[in-house]
Structure 1
């Protein structure tokens, strides 16, 4: 929910997330190969699953980077009103 107190220049750290994903991808590939060659199929499979997760994350990050900046409401847009009915989650 938008409260109106968000920083006006807030941006997602997609470039940092991209480079961290690349670093993790390299380690996952090397780990998969090293464990497979050393005869540890369980660890190789674990690194392979991590490799898959990192690849999906990297794909999402690249998609978001290519989409470019999204619309951000300016200072003249009032904050959203809180939902009616009081606080959620209270008993």
Structure 2
């Protein structure tokens, strides 16, 4: 919902989130491999779970990037009223 305080050209930082996900994917894969080779099974499982979470986030970011830009209200469309405080 627009409150009128954000710029009309605001965009989500998907490219930055993409590169953070790639960075996390590399480190989680490295951690999983390193802990598995050194016999630390619990840490390898933790890094493996993190690897799955980061891979799912990366897939979601790529999906959103492929959708392209969405409709953004222009300057001629008035903003919504801010929500009433509870």
Corresponding position of 1:59: 59
Runs of 4+ in 1 over 2 A off after TM superposition: none
What TM-score results when the alignment is normalised by the length of structure 1? 0.87
Q: Which gives a bigger RCO, structure 1 or 2 (Cα 8 Å, sep 6+)?
A: 2
Aligned twin of 1:17:
17
Unaligned residue ranges in structure 2 (runs of 5+): none
The alignment yields a C-alpha RMSD, in angstroms, of 1.3
Distance 1:12 1:58 in 2: 15
Q: 1:50 to 1:9 in 2, by over 3 A?
A: same
1:8 corresponds in structure 2 to 8
Partners of 2:39 and 2:74 lie apart in 1 by 58
TM-score normalised over the length of structure 2: 0.92
Q: How many residues align?
A: 86
The match for 1:69 is 69
Larger radius of gyration: 1
* Displacement of 1:82: 4.3
Any gaps of 5 or more consecutive residues in structure 1?
Answer: none
1:28 to partner: Cα distance: 0.4
Q: Distance in 2 between matches of 1:79 and 1:20?
A: 32
